[in-house]
């Protein structure tokens, strides 16, 4: 799988927790990059010892959370969607054949 994620937007709750992330999934091809947008919702427990405050949340950490949130099934679906678009748009054009 050759998709990467870029963080587009973060929604922060009233307790300083990230409640959602909008992302761009990018897959390169020989003709450029193909993109798909999505969103992951989170329900962090602000009272948990594992809670990470907003000032320590990096984009790379958010990408890890996105991967966990989507799981293998979601990641494969995004990859397939982008791969299908690449194949479709890179097909040679068919010329119409007419009989005389």
What pLDDT, in 10s, does the model give residues 66-84? Answer: 999 999 999 999 999 999 9
Q: What is the pTM of this model?
A: 0.81
Q: Give the pLDDT of residue 31.
A: 83
Supply the mean pLDDT for the chain.
Answer: 89
Long-range contacts of 57-61 (CB under 8 A, 24+ apart): 57/10, 57/18, 59/6, 59/7
pLDDT band, residue 93 (cuts 50/70/90)? low
């Amino acid at each position: 799988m050759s998709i990467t994620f870029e963080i587009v937007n973060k929604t922060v709750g009233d307790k300083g927790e990230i409640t959602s992330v909008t992302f761009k999934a990018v897959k390169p091809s020989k003709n450029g990059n193909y993109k798909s947008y999505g969103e992951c919702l989170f329900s962090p427990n602000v009272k948990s010892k594992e809670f990470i405050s907003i000032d320590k949340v990096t984009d790379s950490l958010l990408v890890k959370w996105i991967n966990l949130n989507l799981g293998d099934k979601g990641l494969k679906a995004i990859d397939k969607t982008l791969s299908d678009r690449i194949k479709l748009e890179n097909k040679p054009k068919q010329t119409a054949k007419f009989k005389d």
